[in-house]
């Protein structure tokens, strides 16, 4: 269906319902709106009539798209994260019924970040001595076994 202005659509429907004739509608359309515009086809006239009957309007329907995140949702996520800062986004997602990515988006809008807290132990004075001693022992071990590093696999796992 070609794009017709609202004025043209109203004209098409008025003439079609008044005359109950597609041909008369097409002829009057050309008379009013000029020769440079093709008259509406039979399917266009029927589609406009059906649109008016089913939706009550001749305007194009809203195309849809993504729903905007409400301030209420952002506040809800913010309150939950502030109440329990160590809560993961997956757990938050389960509690709120939102997707994980929506929770991430809401947290970002609330200027919050999902932190993973790591338990860290405070180093004592004796720990420094133990660490230095371990390094010295490891250096001695490497001097005695030069090829040991060819068979050693280092990872960052605990």
* Residue spans per domain, the chain: 6-55, 68-144
Give per-residue pLDDT as tens, 11-40.
Answer: 999 999 999 899 999 999 998 887 677 888
Residue 36 vs residues 24, 25, 26, 29, 90: alpha-carbon distances, Å: 18, 16, 13, 11, 60
- Report the predicted TM-score, pTM, of the whole model to 2 decimal places: 0.42
Q: % helix / strand / coil in the chain, to the nearest 5? A: 60, 0, 40
Give per-residue pLDDT as tens, 81-113.
Answer: 999 888 888 999 999 999 999 999 999 999 987
Give per-residue pLDDT as tens, 115-154.
Answer: 666 778 888 888 889 999 999 998 998 888 878 778 888 8
pLDDT of residue 146: 76
């Amino acid at each position: 269906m070609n794009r017709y202005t609202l004025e043209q659509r109203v004209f098409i429907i008025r003439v079609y319902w008044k005359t109950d004739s597609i041909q008369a509608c097409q002829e009057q359309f050309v008379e009013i709106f000029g020769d440079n515009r093709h008259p509406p086809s039979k399917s266009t006239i029927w589609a406009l009539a059906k649109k008016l009957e089913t939706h009550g309007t001749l305007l194009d329907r809203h195309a849809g798209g993504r729903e905007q995140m409400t301030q209420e949702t952002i506040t809800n996520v913010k309150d939950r994260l502030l109440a329990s800062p160590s809560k993961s986004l997956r757990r938050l997602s389960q509690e709120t019924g939102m997707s994980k990515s929506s929770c991430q988006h809401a947290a970002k809008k609330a200027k919050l970040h999902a932190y993973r807290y790591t338990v860290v132990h405070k180093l004592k004075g004796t720990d420094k001595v133990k660490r230095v001693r371990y390094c010295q022992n490891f250096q001695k071990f490497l001097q005695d076994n030069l090829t040991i590093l060819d068979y050693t696999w280092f990872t960052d796992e605990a």
